[in-house]
Structure 1
Amino acid sequence: MADGQPLWGYPEVAAHLGISVQAARSRKSRGSLPAPDDTTVPDRPRWKPATFRTGSPSAEESAAIYTASTQTFRSD
């Protein structure tokens, strides 16, 4: 990048969030990840580390949000 910041691909994003690479890809396709900072290479989105460090939920918070959003509620 022109500003000298490194860019993260799926492996780095996954490691930062404490999830698998496949889970990171899935979250991107569902719109659960921030918009990539660089999309110049097709099918290889990349993010600045700061994108995940400023106001984004921690891995634990993300997991709790995901778990809550996938629970099935029954009314007995």
Structure 2
Amino acid sequence: MADDQRLWGYTEVAAHLGISIGAARSRKSRGSLPAPDDDSVPDRPRWKPSTLKGWKPVGRGFRSDLHGPSPHEITPSN
């Protein structure tokens, strides 16, 4: 892969979004996740971390006030 990013499966996507793996699968099937960066293996879509970082889910049930910046977005003040 050109940018050498490790691809995320449902487990990593769910952890990043703070939802269950089943919820991540459900969101994918409803079209509520960004398009996968790699769908070459059937039933195993994978995303680049950069695709999901900064992306915020929309719709019923998402509480944006509960989600702070990800640890990758926090920079030291020095």
Supply the distance in 2 between the matched residues of 1:3 and 1:48 (Cα, whole angstroms): 9
Measured on the aligned residues, the alpha-carbon RMSD in Å equals 1.7
Partner of 2:53: 53
Partner of 2:23: 23
Determine what percentage of the aligned residue pairs are the same residue.
69
The runs of at least 4 aligned residues of structure 1 exceeding 6 Å deviation read: none
Structure 1: where are the runs of 5+ without partners? 69-76
* Between structures 1 and 2, the one with greater helix share: 1
Partner of 1:67: 61
Tell me the CA shift for residue 66 of structure 1: 2.0
TM-score w.r.t. the length of structure 2 is 0.71
Supply the distance in 2 between the matched residues of 1:24 and 1:7 (Cα, whole angstroms): 15
Partner of 1:43: 43
Q: Which has the larger radius of gyration?
A: 1
TM-score w.r.t. the length of structure 1 is 0.73
Structure 2: where are the runs of 5+ without partners? 63-78
Count of matched residue positions in the alignment of Structure 1 and Structure 2: 62
- What secondary structure, in the 3-state scheme, does the structure 1 residue paired with 2:44 have? coil
